Amino acid sequence: MRTYEKFFRMNRLPHIWCPGCGNGIVMKAIVQAIEKAGLDQDKTVIVSGIGCSSRASGYMNFDTLHTAHGRAIPFATGIKLANPELNVIVITGDGDATAIGGNHFIHGARRNIDLTVVLFNNNIYGMTGGQASPLTPHGKKATTAPYGTVDRAFDPCQLAQAAGATFVARSTTFHVPQTVDAIVQGIGNKGFSLIETITQCPIAYGRKNKLGDAANMLKWMSEHAAPLAAYNKLSDEQKAEKFPIGVLYKGAAPEYSAEYAKLIKQAMEGKK
């Protein structure tokens, strides 16, 4: 028994995810971060889209919304605007956030609305059996890309930063304490925060790409992730083999729900 377990609906465990699926690791990191950040359970809302990863909301002991595919950010936006006091955490998959929900993702970032978005990036559509997503790396196989995908992948962190997010971090399921820390910092940021967490889907992605079992996929993460400062010192050739983790960007911009509240006040009272 651990103290963060109060944030799980214990009667719903064991969860439905496949053996070795990284989603359970990310879900634990989120509740540990909520505990560390000292959020009030009754003032914290978890909003997810559709996908294996999005099922996490059903196991979490808060007010939770399991919404439509790609639409977690619009629902979360509505919640935040209706009651800006709430801490709103969004759980989304790579397909959910960057394919069907891609527009919502960039516009949430553009508005810099105070949401903490945890993107479970398993590089594939897990739930529907392994179709390529916009985050499937170039050349990797999927049911829709039997010879390897021709498309280039998005970098969701660069995408969020360019669109206007004010906190952007990347971590992995190998780097659990770093993931917790990144989510704590994302919660602390008053604006749109993205925490991309690379997670293993040994079933719909790993198997097709011969990446070994879940432990092998975790080892791959430990060997290929480089903390940002170390990554920046690498040559271009070395960089091609690695990806940066840690806090990648912090910015400052007006926050949407606060700006909206000002406008409401002005419309109600007039401006002197």
Q: Interface with another protein by CB under 8 A: which residues?
A: 1-2, 5, 8, 13-15, 17-25, 28, 173-174, 176, 202, 213-215, 218-219
Q: Which of another protein, ligand TPP, ligand SF4, none sits in contact with 144, Cβ below 5 to 8 A by type? A: none
Question: Do residues 58 and 46 make contact, with C-beta atoms less than 8 angstroms apart?
Answer: no
- Closer Cβ to another protein, 215 or 263, answer by number: 215
Q: Which of another protein, ligand TPP, ligand SF4, none sits in contact with 203, Cβ below 5 to 8 A by type? A: ligand SF4
For 87, other C-beta atoms within 10 Å of its C-beta total 19
- Closer Cβ to ligand SF4, 106 or 201, answer by number: 201
List of residues contacting ligand SF4 (CB under 6 A): 17-18, 21, 23, 52, 122, 126-127, 201-204
Return the residue matching tokens 């009754």: 42
What track of x and - describes contact with ligand TPP for positions 117 through 156 (by CB under 6 A)? Answer: ---x-x-xxxxx----x-----------------------
- Which residues have a Cβ under 8 Å from the Cβ of 269 and sit 6 or more positions away? none
Q: Which of ligand TPP, another protein, ligand SF4, none sits in contact with 45, Cβ below 5 to 8 A by type? A: none
Query: Smallest Cα–Cα separation from 72: which of 90, 60, 93, 52?
Result: 90
Rule CB under 6 A: is residue 96 a binding residue for ligand TPP? yes
Stretch that binds ligand TPP, among 3-11, 49-57, 218-226, 248-256 (CB under 6 A): 49-57
Q: What angle do CA 62, 68, 73 make, to 5 degrees?
A: 65
CA distance 54 to 48: 5
Rule CB under 6 A: is residue 108 a binding residue for ligand TPP? no
Please select the residue that binds ligand TPP; options are 20, 95, 134, 164, rule is CB under 6 A: 95
Retrieve residue 59's tokens: 């196991």
Give 142's Cβ-side CA count (13 Å radius): 25
Please, what is the minimum distance in Å from the beta carbon of residue 216 to another protein? 8
What residues form DSSP beta bridges with 88?
45
Q: 137-164 burial string, b = 16+ CB within 10 Å, else e?
A: eeebbbeebeeebeeebbebbebbbebb
**Can you give the binding site for ligand TPP, defined by CB under 6 A?**
50-53, 69, 93-96, 100, 120, 122, 124-128, 133
